[in-house]
């Protein structure tokens, strides 16, 4: 473990201010930016650990705005994401949908984790991804909802199609038809039952920032020592 006595930092700061005060803002700027980049590094790991990622964009969206000036009182760096959904993950929120279908929620069965896995920790398998599913338009007249569902399942099993949209009594969504022609049954792949879904808080930035701040004294010590070395005042 690398620990730093604050008295050592104070000593280096006094020496740098005494011999070349103009070098001090370079040290503070380096420290602020170093802390921000440390927060970025930790955040990317937090996101990978806590979230189910469709691709690398969530991690790549985490950027740093560096401190640039040499006026210490105005030096400021910021770590954050350019993706709006990352703010929702940090603070929580609500996703709503208008129209016939509700918010699409992939089930844990779609990812191969089984129906009872909560929460889902993996992405849907490639065949179960919504962009890879083709649905046949169903008849609108001449049948009750129950009859329509039975016909849709039977037709899918007979034709070899694996996916159907079903509106059941208590749920609706996209289902996978399994079991073959003789004994077809269904497993929900994407749930479309809810018009509104609460997105729980998954803090990724605040804990990363707090953890990064622990490295600030070490970064400042190194930055002060670097500036003193440049002046030939530190071996």
Domain chopping of the chain, boundaries = 6-92+200-230, 99-197
Rounded Cα distance, 204 and 51, in Å: 9
Q: What are the Cα distances from residue 143, in Å, to 30, 149, 176?
A: 71, 9, 22
| Mean pLDDT score across all residues of the chain | 89
Q: Flag whether pLDDT at 43 surpasses 90.
A: yes
Instruction: Find the mean pLDDT for residues 172-200.
Output: 91
220 close to 11: Cβ distance less than 8 angstroms? no
For 137-168, how does the pLDDT look when each residue is reduced to its tens digit (9 = 90+)? 766 555 788 888 888 898 888 888 889 999 98
Q: Which of 214, 216, 215, 208 is nearest to 90 (CA)?
A: 208
Counting residues of the chain whose pLDDT is more than 70, the rounded percentage is 95
Instruction: Find the mean pLDDT for residues 25-46.
Output: 97
What integer pLDDT is reported at residue 139 of this predicted model?
62
When pLDDT is cut at 50, 70 and 90, the band that residue 1 belongs to is very low
What integer pLDDT is reported at residue 173 of this predicted model?
94
Q: Flag whether pLDDT at 101 surpasses 90.
A: no
Rounded Cα distance, 175 and 195, in Å: 18
H-state helical runs in the chain: 6-20, 24-50, 57-60, 84-91, 145-159, 205-213, 216-230
Handedness of CA 77, 79, 82, 86 (dihedral sign): negative
What integer pLDDT is reported at residue 17 of this predicted model?
92
By CB atoms closer than 10 A (0-12, 13-18, 19+), residue 73 is exposed
Instruction: Find the mean pLDDT for residues 124-143.
Output: 81
Instruction: Find the mean pLDDT for residues 48-71.
Output: 93
What integer pLDDT is reported at residue 235 of this predicted model?
64
Partnered with residue 50 across adjacent β-strands are none
Counting residues of the chain whose pLDDT is more than 90, the rounded percentage is 63
Rounded Cα distance, 149 and 130, in Å: 20
Rounded Cα distance, 88 and 215, in Å: 27
Lowest mean pLDDT among 60-69, 142-151, 210-219: 142-151
Q: Which residue has the higher pLDDT, 175 or 141?
A: 175
* Tokens, residue 203: 């803090």
Q: Which of 72, 76, 74 is nearest to 64 (CA)?
A: 76
* Tokens, residue 3: 């620990």
Phi and psi at 205, nearest 5°, equal -90, -50
Lowest mean pLDDT among 1-15, 149-163, 167-181: 1-15
């Amino acid at each position: 473990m690398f620990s730093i006595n604050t008295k050592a930092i104070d000593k280096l700061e006094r020496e740098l201010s005494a011999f070349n005060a103009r070098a001090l803002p370079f040290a503070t700027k380096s420290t602020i930016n170093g802390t921000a980049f440390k927060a970025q590094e930790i955040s990317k790991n937090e996101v990978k650990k806590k979230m189910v990622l469709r691709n690398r964009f969530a991690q790549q969206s985490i950027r740093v705005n560096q401190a640039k000036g040499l006026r210490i009182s105005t030096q400021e760096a910021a770590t954050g994401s350019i993706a709006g959904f990352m703010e929702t993950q940090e603070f929580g929120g609500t996703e709503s949908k208008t129209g016939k279908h509700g918010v699409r929620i992939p089930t844990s069965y779609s990812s191969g984790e089984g129906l009872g896995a909560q929460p889902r920790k993996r992405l849907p398998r490639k065949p179960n991804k919504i962009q890879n599913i083709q649905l046949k338009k169903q008849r609108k007249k001449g049948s009750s909802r129950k009859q329509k569902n039975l016909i849709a399942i039977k037709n899918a099993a007979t034709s070899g199609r694996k996916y159907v949209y079903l509106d059941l009594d208590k749920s609706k969504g996209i289902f996978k038809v399994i079991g073959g022609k003789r004994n077809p049954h269904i497993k929900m792949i994407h749930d479309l039952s809810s018009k509104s879904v609460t997105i729980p808080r998954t803090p990724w930035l605040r804990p990363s920032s707090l953890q990064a701040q622990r490295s600030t004294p070490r970064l400042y010590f190194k930055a002060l020592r670097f500036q003193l070395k440049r002046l030939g005042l530190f071996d």
